[in-house]
C-alpha cells in the first residue's frame, strides 16, 4: 500500500499528553487500516469532535466520514482523497491515499494532518439551476499538499461547507461533469460564512482551464488566451505544485487559442470554441 499524506510520523510527539494508538492495532477485518490524527504545528491535538472525510475515485466519489483517531478501511483498493474537519478548523490541504486493501502484516498506517482556520461556504439558492454538483477551489498553498478542491452533490448539500480561509473560486457542474456556471472569487474568513452565486457567462462565454500535474516545484505559470489578434491573461488563476485553475469570465463567441509558457504546462497551444452563455472547459493532466 502506498499512502501519500501530509506527514507520516509515530515518534515525533512522544513527550505530549496526547498519544497516538499503537500501529500494531491497525487492523480492520484482517486488512491494513488507516488512522488520521489532527495536529497544530509541533503538537498533537485532541481528536474529540474531529471527522475524517474520505472521497473515493480520486475525490469524485461519494463522501464517507470516520472519526479521527480511530482505525478504518476506506473501501476497496483505489485512490481516495482525504481531509479532516474539527470545529472552525480544517486540514491545510487534502491528501491522496492510494489504498491497496492488503492483508494486515503487523502495522496500520498513521498520518498526521496540520489543521488551519476554516470558514463556511454556502450556495445561493437562486444559483442552483439544473446543476448536479458544486465545486470549490481554494487558493491556499501548502507545499506538496493537494490543493484544497472539494465537490458536493447538490442533492446532499444541506449545510455550508468548511473550506480553508483565503481566496476561493466556486463553480456549478452538470451530471456529465461539465461546468455550467462560475462565481467570481470570494474570500473565506475564519469562522465566518460566505455565500457563492455562480452565474452563466454574460455577455459572451467563459473559459475554464483545469490542469492536474505531478507534485514538484514549478516556476510561475503564464497563460494567454488569444482571439482575433487580442491576447488576454486569466481574470483569476490559482496555482499550486499539483494544480492550475484559470478562468476567463467574459470572452466573445468564436474560436480562441490558449497558449502556455513555463514548465509544468502543456507544450502545445490548445484550441477552444467559445459559445455565448456557456463555459468552455479545457481539462489537462500531465
- What's the whole-model pTM score? 0.86
Q: Which residues contact 158 (CB under 8 A, 6 or more apart)?
A: none
pLDDT one-digit tens code per residue, 220-234: 889 999 999 999 999
Phi, psi at 91, each rounded to 5°: -55, 145
Q: Which residues of 75-84 are buried (b: 16+ CB within 10 A; e: fewer)?
A: eeeebbbbbb
Between the CA atoms of 272, 273, 275 and 280, what dihedral angle is there, to the nearest 10 degrees?
-30
How many Cβ atoms sit within 10 Å of the Cβ of residue 140?
Answer: 19
Q: How far apart are the first and last CA of the chain?
A: 23
pLDDT one-digit tens code per residue, 113-149: 999 999 999 999 877 778 999 999 997 655 545 678 8
pLDDT one-digit tens code per residue, 82-109: 999 999 999 998 888 999 999 999 999 9
Q: With 50 as the cut, is the pLDDT of residue 157 above it?
A: yes
Amino acid at each position: 500500500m502506498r499512502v501519500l499524506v501530509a506527514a507520516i510520523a509515530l515518534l515525533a510527539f512522544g513527550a505530549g499528553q496526547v498519544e497516538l494508538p499503537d500501529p500494531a492495532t491497525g487492523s480492520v477485518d484482517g486488512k491494513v487500516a488507516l488512522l488520521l490524527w489532527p495536529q497544530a504545528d509541533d503538537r498533537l491535538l485532541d481528536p474529540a469532535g474531529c471527522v475524517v472525510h474520505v472521497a473515493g475515485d480520486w475525490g469524485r466519489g461519494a463522501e464517507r466520514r470516520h472519526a479521527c483517531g480511530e482505525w478504518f478501511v476506506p473501501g476497496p483498493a483505489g485512490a481516495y482523497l482525504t481531509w479532516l474537519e474539527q470545529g472552525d478548523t480544517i486540514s491545510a490541504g487534502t491528501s491522496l491515499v492510494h489504498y491497496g486493501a492488503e492483508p494486515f502484516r503487523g502495522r496500520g498506517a498513521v498520518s498526521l494532518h496540520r489543521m488551519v482556520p476554516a470558514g463556511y461556504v454556502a450556495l445561493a439558492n437562486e444559483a442552483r439551476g439544473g446543476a448536479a454538483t458544486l465545486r470549490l477551489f481554494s487558493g491556499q498553498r501548502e507545499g506538496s499538499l493537494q490543493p484544497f478542491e472539494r465537490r458536493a452533490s447538490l442533492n446532499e448539500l444541506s449545510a455550508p461547507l468548511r473550506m480553508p480561509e483565503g481566496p476561493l473560486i466556486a463553480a456549478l457542474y452538470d451530471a456529465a461533469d461539465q461546468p455550467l456556471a462560475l462565481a467570481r472569487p470570494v474570500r473565506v474568513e475564519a469562522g465566518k460564512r460566505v455565500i457563492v452565486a455562480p452565474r452563466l457567462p454574460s455577455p459572451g462565454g467563459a473559459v475554464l482551464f483545469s490542469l492536474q500535474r505531478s507534485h514538484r516545484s514549478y516556476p510561475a505559470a503564464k497563460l494567454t488566451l488569444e482571439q482575433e489578434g487580442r491576447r488576454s491573461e486569466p481574470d483569476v488563476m490559482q496555482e499550486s505544485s499539483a494544480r492550475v485553475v484559470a478562468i476567463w469570465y467574459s470572452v466573445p463567441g468564436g474560436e480562441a487559442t490558449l497558449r502556455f509558457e513555463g514548465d509544468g504546462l502543456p507544450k502545445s497551444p490548445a484550441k477552444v470554441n467559445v459559445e455565448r452563455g456557456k463555459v468552455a472547459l479545457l481539462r489537462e493532466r500531465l
